[in-house]
Amino acid sequence: MTDLAFTSATEFADYYKKVVADVHTWVDPLSQEQLWHKPHAYGNSVGHLLLHMTGNLNYYIGARIAESGYIRDRDREFTETRKIDKRDVLQAFDRTIDMVVATARAQGPDDWMKAYSAEREPEAKNRFAIFLRCAAHAYHHVGQIIYLSRELARQTEHRAISA
């Protein structure tokens, strides 16, 4: 019989690997310009969403559980003015997911219920809760990336037809 700690570690690891695969499905086809373009006057670019997801996971799981020493600049995740190379943004995200997966797999039976606290996360009282909340948060932004990628493709197609 498999214990709950092993099952939790495995399921979270698999889920975060799905997140990274889905991100690549929708982001790999985008150009450097599309990565940083906001197709609407409101909201974020795909690039900014990736910076945010990377910062979120590096802080809540990396700094607070894996003790990586990561220092977060949350505001900059949304306001970065440099158009960082797409490859570098994706590699940073991939490394972050690798860290999250390794950290999930490192949790033993007594670790999942260890007390947890972090800025801007008063609801997460234990490690299980933060892995769950971060997974939901990540996929919320994957949904936004899917929408933005489709909108960018639609706008590109519309310009091509109009030209």
pLDDT-derived band at 1 (thresholds 50, 70, 90) equals: very low
Q: Does domain 4-162 have CATH number 3.20.20.140?
A: no
Using the predicted structure, report yes or no on whether residue 57 has a pLDDT greater than 70: yes
Question: What predicted TM-score, i.e. pTM, was given to this entire model?
Answer: 0.94
Helix axes 86-105, 46-57, angle to 10 degrees: 30
How far is the C-alpha of 57 from the C-alpha of 59, rounded, in Å? 5
**pLDDT for residue 20:** 98
pLDDT digits over 73-113, tens only?
999 999 999 999 999 999 999 999 999 999 999 999 999 99
